[in-house]
Each structure stands twice: as structure tokens, then as C-alpha cells.
Amino acid sequence: MQTLKSKWRVRWNVMDLDAMDFPTPDATVESISPEALKARIDDGEDVTLLDARMASDYEEWRIDGENVESINVPYFEFLDEEIDGDVLASIPDDEHVTVLCAKGGASEFVAGALADRGYDVDHLAEGMNGWASIYEAHEVAAYDGFGTLLQYQRPSSGCLGYLVYDGDEAAVIDPLRAFTDRYLADAAELGVELTYAFDTHVHADHVSGLRELAAEGVEAVLPAAAADRGVTYTDEVTLASDGDRFAVGDAAIETVFTPGHTTGMTSYLIDDGLLATGDGLFIESVARPDLEEGDDGAPDAARTLYASLQERVLSLPDATLVGGAHYSDAAEPAADGTYTATIGDLKTRMDALSMDEPDFVQLVLADMPPRPPNYEEVIETNLGRNEIDDEEAFTLELGPNNCAASQDALTSD
């Protein structure tokens, strides 16, 4: 005869585990906010995480760090009254443990089961969804153009964006739909008007906030070459061509066409101080060339990327800062906490930037990481062909970005 808990196990293996009603544990379990957990990690505190998601989800996307010990034990291991001894032995009983899952339901149950057995535990509020809601702004201290430049960072996926403001105007580059209200609120707090919103290209890893900001009265700017991919909302945006300039107070944003990652990939030079390179160049890697044209078109795209980097990016003064649209675990932040570096620094430490074209193409095509989760649907959404609500958009983009080529051999030791 099946016990009630064994019946739960059958049901929860085929349903959304965080949509179920878990039994209430006897012990009181505290929660920790995503922001508080990140602060502990950033402060260098040793953190032990018990990730209760399925192994496949854990392997694809999890919270990591030099001072983070991450253990994966799926939630169903805790459903029986008698938890397997090997499972309990894998969880440290002499240190604090934070349990997490996808949305917070399973982790509270698992943490309670452990607390009932004497473990020192709490659980992450809202789980990995909560982690994906963290969005931080850091000032780019080395920026020497007019006004002030901020870099937005989303640690869950490594997404980066930029806000430059001068006088009473501001512009955002590569806005995320999930944080549309944040950009408007930040501008209001700074006492400026958000005048422009720029996309560098048709993104494959996250849902753009360009249309939502346009609906709020912000002038949305999309590269004309990106629109050529079949964007359905060109009448709602300004199409920018190579060399176009946009004034933000006394600062200027210049369009620099840099195809390769996509046919429409465009960088934006912010007052000659920082080149927002989108997915063309990162501080630890270069773009992958296969997300638009697939494997067959990747070699030609890689050659185009090589030309863009050599002729349009590396030809700028060595003191020019580079800021991409992403960072990975391999990236080392600058002293100001931003993921930026000068062109001169990147020339020195990134081998891929000093190779000839054949070697460069061979390198970026070798051992490419898995494509971003749901990338085809994300692209269709950003082209305007797939209409989804905010919750669907947030869920669609969860996971790693994987927009860069493999870091292997890209940088010098």
C-alpha cells in the first residue's frame, strides 16, 4: 500500500514542485532575501547552499562563487519520513546551510525537514526566481566623458546594461523588460528624464525592454541592420545607422556598426569614454557567431566578427573602456566593481584579439557552449513575433546567457 508521502513523490515528479502545497514542517524556518544572500557572498563569507532542484536544472544554472559550497540534493529525497542516511551525510551539520529551489516552496519544506533534525538552516525567499530579480547599479569610476555612467548588473544571468545621464537627460543601453520600472524609477530619483533607450542587437538570451520603455514615452533606438531581421515594430522605434549621434545633455552616444555576433550587432560609443559592445566583445571573451545563422553560417559570421573587432573596436584609443552586455564567472571586475576594461588591457591579455583571421575563426568555432535556454523563442519575442506577458517573459529568460564563445585559450595566463 502506498503511503501518502510516496503518493506525493509520484505527483511531484511530474508537476511543478513549487506549485504544490508542501507539508508544514514542525520547526520554524527563517527565510533569507536574495539581496542578503548576495551580500554575504560579496563580503567573502563562506556560504553553504543546498539546492533542492532537479539535477538537470542544477547543472544548467546555479549560484556559484569562490566562497560558495553548493550541494545538489533534489527535494524528493526529503519526502519520506525516514530520510536516507547518505543524503543527510552529504549535508554539513556543523555549519549554517541555506536551502534553495526554483520559487521557494520546496526549499522551505526541505529546510524544515532538516531543522526538525537539528540542522542550522534557512531558505532562500522566492528561490532562483528571487535570485533572478537582483539588479544592481555600479558607477563606472574610470569613465571620463560628460555626465555619469552606471553599469547595471544582473548576477543570475550575467546581463549588463548602462545608464548615462548628464544635465537633465539620461539614456539606457540594453534594457531588460523585467526592469522597465527600475530604469524609470532610477531616472526619477536622479532628477533626470529618461530620453533614450538603445538596443545593441536582437538579443537571444533575455527579453528586451525597448518596447515597454517606448510605451512610457522614451525614444527607443534600434540598429537599422537589426531591424532588417524582420522586426515587426519598426514604426514604434528610431532606426539608427552607423555613425549616428544622439545627445544626452552634453554627452553624446555614437552608433558603431560591429556585426558578427549577429548581422545587426551594433556598439554605442558613450562620449568617447566607453564602448558598449553588446555581445560583440566581453572583458573575458568574444561573441559566439552561431545564434542567428546556425552552425552553417557561423564561419562567415566569425570572419565578420574578426573584421569588426579589428577595424571598428581595436582601432579606438587604448584608453577607451569596453563594457559588454554580459559577464561570466571567468570575468574579473574592475576596482570599482564594474565589468569594464580598457581596449589596451584587452589587447594585452586576450589572445584572440592578436590572432590572424584563420586562427581567430578556428578558435571561436571550437567547443562552443550550449546555446542559451529558449533562445529561439526569446529571439521571436524580441522580433515582436511572439507576444507574451511579463511573467512569461521573466520565466522565458531564466538561466545562463551563453552568448560568448568558450573562454578556453581566449585569454593569456
Give the CATH number for residue 210. Answer: 3.60.15.10
pLDDT at position 11, please?
30
Percent of the chain with pLDDT over 70: 92
Asked if residue 279 is part of any domain, the answer here is yes
pLDDT tens across 13-72, in order?
Answer: 333 444 456 666 677 899 999 999 999 999 999 999 999 999 999 999 999 999 999 999
Residue 301 belongs to a domain:
yes
**Domain assignment of residue 413, yes or no:** no
Average the pLDDT over 197-207 and give the result.
96
Residue 101 catalytic? yes
Task: Give yes or no: residues 209 and 87 share one domain.
Answer: no
The pLDDT of residue 162 is: 98
- Please give the Cα distance from 325 to 163 (Å, whole number): 13
pLDDT band at 402 (very low <50, low <70, confident <90, very high): confident
SS3 343: helix
Average pLDDT over residues 374-390: 96
Query: 12 and 160: one domain?
Result: no
Does residue 357 sit in the same domain as residue 246?
yes
More confident residue, 373 or 278: 278
Query: Do 387 and 280 sit in the same domain of this protein?
Result: yes
- What number is the average pLDDT over the span 164-173? 98
Distance in angstroms (rounded) separating the CA atoms of residues 363 and 407: 10
Looking at the structure, tell me whether residues 42 and 172 fall in a common domain: no
Q: Is the per-residue pLDDT at 127 higher than 60?
A: yes
Residue 98: name the closest of 20, 34, 42, 25 by CA: 34
CA dihedral of 190, 192, 196, 201, whole degrees rounded to 10 = -10
Out of 83, 113, 131, a domain closes at 131
> Based on the domain organization, do 325 and 350 belong to the same domain?
yes
Same domain, 316 and 172: yes
Comparing 21-30, 202-211, 276-285, which segment has the lowest mean pLDDT?
21-30
CB atoms within 10 A of CB 339: 23
Q: Which residues of 280-296 are buried (b: 16+ CB within 10 A; e: fewer)?
A: bbbbbbbbbbbbbeeee
Amino acid at 159: C
Q: What angle do CA 129, 130, 131 make, to 5 degrees?
A: 90
Average pLDDT in the 270-293 region? 95
Evaluate whether 262 touches 291 at the Cβ level (below 8 Å): yes
Phi, psi of 260 (to 5 degrees): 150, -65
C-alpha closest to that of 170 among 156, 153, 159, 184? 184
Predicted confidence at residue 26, as pLDDT, reads 72
401 occurs within a structural domain: no
Residue 412: the pLDDT is 52
pTM of the predicted structure, to 2 decimals: 0.91
Predicted local distance difference test score (pLDDT) of residue 403: 86
Q: In what order do the strands lie in the sheet with 136-139?
A: 136-139, 148-154, 159-166, 169-173, 193-198, 219-223, 238-240
Q: Is the pLDDT of residue 370 over 90?
A: no
Q: Alpha carbon 345 to chain centroid distance?
A: 24
| Number of domains observed in the structure of the chain | 2
Res 325 pLDDT > 70: yes
Quote the pLDDT of residue 25.
67
Q: Are 223 and 201 in contact (CB under 8 A)?
A: yes
Mean pLDDT of the region 374-380: 95
Residue 3: pLDDT over 90: no
Backbone φ and ψ for 286, nearest 5 degrees, come out as -120, 175
Average pLDDT over residues 364-392: 93
At residue 23, the pLDDT reads: 66
Q: Is the pLDDT of residue 157 over 70?
A: yes
Considering the chain, what is the average pLDDT of its residues? 92
**In a shared domain, residues 234 and 184:** yes
Per-residue pLDDT band at 411 (split at 50, 70, 90): low
In a domain, 204, yes or no: yes
Cell numbers linked to 98: 541555506
Confidence category of residue 144, pLDDT binned at 50, 70, 90: very high
Least confident of 105-109, 146-150, 222-226, 244-248: 105-109
Pairwise pLDDT comparison (369 vs 223), residue with the higher score:
223
Q: How far is CA 121 from the centre of its chain?
A: 28
Separation CA 262–CA 91 (nearest Å) = 45
Host domain of residue 42? 4-131
Amino acid at 260: G
pLDDT at 6 over 60: no
In a domain, 405, yes or no: no
Amino acid code (one letter) for 76: F
Percent of the chain clearing pLDDT 90 (strictly above)? 85
Residues, the chain, total?
413
Confidence band for 400, pLDDT divided at 50, 70 and 90: confident
- Same domain? For 247 and 150 the reply is yes
Shared domain for 125 and 249, answered yes or no, is no
CATH number, domain with residue 116: 3.40.250.10
pLDDT (tens digit per residue) in 303-317: 999 999 999 999 999
Same domain, 106 and 150: no
**Does residue 407 form part of some domain?**
no
Final residue in a domain of this structure, among 97, 131, 165: 131
With contact defined as beta carbons under 8 Å apart, do 195 and 213 qualify?
no
**Dihedral sign from CA coordinates of 287, 288, 292, 298:** positive
Whether residues 345 and 218 share a domain: the answer is yes
Catalytic pick from 41, 79, 91, 101? 101
> 3-state class of 189 per DSSP?
helix
